[in-house]
Structure 1
Amino acid sequence: MLKRLKKNHEFQIVFQEGKSFANRQFVVYVRKQNGKPYSRLGLSVSKKMGNAVMRNHIKRYIKEIFREFADRLEVGNDYIIISRKPVSTMTHQEMRKSLVHVLKKARVLHDSRKIPQL
């Protein structure tokens, strides 16, 4: 099960206590074991990425990718995804590949050999 990080103080705890992993498109902060039986996801998409429609589109894609891999992610972690400028011109498949790459770097995506290609 995946819930959302919404409050500023929740984000600050992850920024302070978590570890960051990045590539050119995404920065992922992971705070291991939040003490809950579910993981939480926070998203940050800058206004530099485009208008509200574009930013919401990017957030929907990221949430969909996380839902797709929810059963392969470590349970009980907090995740914050910060998207960088190149994401605004990427396709869904490219975003998916890039996000999977960062999650593998963070070692929170299990059974990564069996990730289906679209």
Structure 2
Amino acid sequence: MKKEYRIKKSSEIERIVKSKKSKADRYFVMYYNKNHENTHFRFAVSVSKKYGNAVKRNKIKRQIREIISKCDIKTQSDVFIVVKKTTGNLLFQEIQESILNLLKKHDIYEVKK
């Protein structure tokens, strides 16, 4: 993923969370906000230290980035994903299904062909 697709500043993440547009399931919380300043989507992933050691946290972040990169996300949107501790030992397919369902709930997901 290119740097322009990532949200790095905590102030931008706070703005997304304050928009109060969120959907959640057993494994993830996804915050969404339209951003008319950008011409593309951006996203950030947060994994608590309670989830596990650095290897586990980085693995789940890599998997989520891969899932997001395979999607066509509608332009001018910011997405912030929080990984819950219950995600534990999910398979990649289960993580993908959960993330895609949350993207569909926000109506920002299209399948690449």
- TM-score normalised according to structure 1 size: 0.86
Amino acid at match of 1:55: R
Query: What CA RMSD, in Å, does the superposition of the two structures yield over aligned residues?
Result: 1.8
> Does residue 78 in structure 1 map to residue 78 in structure 2?
yes
Which stretches of structure 1, 4 residues or more, deviate above 2 A after TM superposition? none
The offset of 1:18, in angstroms, is: 4.8
Give the aligned partner of residue 52 of structure 1. Answer: 54
Give the aligned partner of residue 102 of structure 1. Answer: 102
Q: Specify every segment of 5 or more residues in structure 1 that has no aligned partner in the other structure, as ranges.
A: none
Number of equivalenced pairs: 111
**Contact kept in structure 2, 1:39 and 1:75, CA below 8 Å:** yes
**Contact kept in structure 2, 1:33 and 1:77, CA below 8 Å:** yes
**Contact kept in structure 2, 1:54 and 1:88, CA below 8 Å:** no
Q: Percent identity?
A: 36
The CA deviation string for residues 4-44 of structure 1, in whole angstroms up to 9 with x for no partner, is 11111111111112510111111000001342111111110
The CA deviation string for residues 28-84 of structure 1, in whole angstroms up to 9 with x for no partner, is 000013421111111100111100110000000000000011x2x111100000011
- TM-score normalised according to structure 2 size: 0.89
Q: Secondary structure at the match of 1:89?
A: coil
Give the aligned partner of residue 10 of structure 1. Answer: 12
